[in-house]
Chain A
Amino acid sequence: MTDAILQIENLTKQYSGFLLDHVSFSIPKGSIMGLIGENGAGKSTTIKAALGLIKKEDGKVSFWGQELSMNENLREDIGVVFDGINFYETLTPAKVGSISNAAYKQWNSSLYSDYLRRFKLPADKEIKEFSKGMKTKLCIAAALSHNPKLLILDEATSGLDPVIRDDILDVFLEFVQDENHSILMSSHISSDLEKIADYITFIHQGKVLFCKSKDELRYRYGIIRCKTEVFHSIDPSEILACRKDDYQWNVLTADKESARRKYKNAVIDDASIDDILLLYVKGEQPK
């Protein structure tokens, strides 16, 4: 990928019982990268290591070609939303605005006020009186109002109802209308990523299993559902992951059209991101 806003190469972090193992991917300008994986797969660890919140053992993380530790000013161009609010509950959106205004040179107070109006957030109400959705919207408003070029969202939409999630996803889609903007979004909610992501990076047990465009996953990946005898006739090189149900085998393949031509006795379905995730996590992968 050329013109990468964020480039992660061989990012490695060792904890007792967990290894983030040489994670690599990059986010091109004007795109949304979805980071998926089961709980504990290493999504948040990747984001934290990229942001310098934890120390990496190995690897390189560069934003616009520069390491964050070498140029603190890069942080002006990065907006971050974590899961849950990071402001104390007695603060108000107005005070959050004042704090952020003092932090960022690029802070745009009128843009922040616009977001507060758009999200229907009262400026002088204490955060403790806000719903989870309102808190998330406040974090997003704060993250977007210093005109970042890269938005990093770590499970930001988890625990929100579909209506609020849809509102928020629209904001993200607007954000990437500017071709210099990008988003890195980790989420459990694959439907959100299916709606907005351009690329999907799948992390499983600390390793990147794949980093592909969403369209490639949508249009090329498929699931072969077949009986055991058909399963044994499948070329192992075509099997990405497989799992046996009570009555059939489910086989993930990277070329569903080819599978449709070759295996007439099998049903070939489109694969959703959830299907891919489940088969990789719960199924077997050929050696």
Chain B
Amino acid sequence: MKSLVLKDLYNISHNSKSMLFILLFFAVVFLPSSGIQGYVYTCALLCSMMIVTTFSFDERSNWTPYALVMPVSRNDLVASKYIVLFLFSSIGVLFGLIFGTIGGFIHRTMGIVPETLSEMPLSMAALTALAFSTVFGSISIPLTLKFGAEKGRILVFASVFIPVAICYIAYRLLAALGITMTDSLLAALLYASPAIALIWNYLMFKISCSIFSKKEF
């Protein structure tokens, strides 16, 4: 398992400079409008998307058959992708917090006051950003396992729309049942998001394992 995670980290480190550039560019563009919280979310989501890139590297190097002759199980291989996703999202959150804070400080000294969209504490913003980014990233794993990295790149957009669609349907259902979405209910859902993300990731992991167990190389 450790070897699989290490391999992804080594592979992706080659792209770290371009990712760093993108994240810094987003800091300049988004920090004044979305504030630190928004920037943390952006960084986490962008970093979580790198999980599809790791599949692309695996395909190009024909890594998976080799990995499967090492003393690791198929489930280990799937689990390693979820660990890497968690690491990528965590790095994104951490980066967003550090550079968002620095950027926010610079903006304030320049007289630019960020329009904070949320009054959520930074710690909670970090935790929910981690939850959302792993939820989005986790959908791309079974999709990429099923359809390959090339199609997976396109399908990664589905990983944005699926949770959004589920939330919308849930919202409409609640509305139909006469339950109105109050601010406090919304806040409660937001605070519950890390737990929801854990359940969601476990579900995606099981689906991924099922898909991967049928794959031949």
Contact = CB atoms under 8 A, between A and B. Distances in A.
Q: Do A and B come from one complex?
A: yes
Interface of A: 48, 51-55, 72-73, 75-76, 78, 80, 82, 84-91, 95, 98-105
A81 B4 CA distance: 18
Contacts of A48: 65, 216-217
B57 A103 contact: no
21 contacts: A48-B216, A48-B217, A51-B69, A53-B65, A53-B68, A76-B71, A82-B66, A86-B65, A88-B58, A88-B60, A88-B61, A89-B61, A90-B11, A90-B14, A98-B6, A99-B7, A101-B3, A102-B3, A102-B6, A103-B71, A103-B72
B62 interface: yes
B188 interface: no
B63 interface: yes
A270 B65 CA distance: 40
A53 B69 contact: yes
B61 A100 contact: no
Given A48-B217, A75-B71, A99 B3 contact: yes
B118 interface: no
A28 B84 CA distance: 41
Contacts of B63: 86-88
B21 interface: no
Given A98-B6, A99-B6, A99-B7, A104 B61 contact: no
Contacts of B2: 102-103
Given A82-B65, A84-B62, A102-B3, A53 B216 contact: yes
Instruction: Give me the 6 closest cross-chain CB pairs, A-B, nearest first.
Output: A86-B66, A103-B3, A102-B3, A75-B71, A54-B216, A90-B14
A129 to B, nearest CB: 14
A178 B48 CA distance: 48
Nearest to A54: B216
A80 B69 contact: yes
A80 B66 contact: yes
Contacts of B11: 88, 90-91
A73 B72 CA distance: 9
Interface in B80-105: none
B110 interface: no
Interface of B: 2-4, 6-7, 10-11, 14, 57-58, 60-63, 65-66, 68-73, 216-217
Contacts of A105: 71
Contacts of B216: 48, 53-55
Contact of A52 (B3, B14, B68): B68
Contacts of A103: 2-4, 70-72
A99 to B, nearest CB: 5
Among B2, B57, B73, B216, residue most surrounded by chain A Cβ atoms (within 10 Å):
B216
Given A53-B65, A73-B71, 5 more contacts: A48-B65, A75-B69, A87-B63, A88-B7, A100-B3
Contacts of A101: 3
Nearest to A90: B14
A89 B69 CA distance: 20
A80 B65 CA distance: 10
B217 A54 contact: yes
Contacts of A85: 61
Contacts of A78: 69
Contacts of B6: 98-99, 102
Contacts of B69: 51, 53, 75, 78, 80
Contacts of A51: 68-69
A75 B61 contact: no
A57 to B, nearest CB: 12
Contacts of B58: 88
A54 B6 CA distance: 26
B14 to A, nearest CB: 4
A65 to B, nearest CB: 18
Among B2, B57, B63, B69, residue most surrounded by chain A Cβ atoms (within 10 Å):
B69
A103 B72 CA distance: 8
A82 B6 CA distance: 22
Nearest to B56: A88
A76 B63 CA distance: 18
A53 B65 CA distance: 7
B64 to A, nearest CB: 9
A82 B62 contact: yes
A84 B7 CA distance: 18
Contacts of B4: 103
Contacts of A99: 3, 6-7, 10
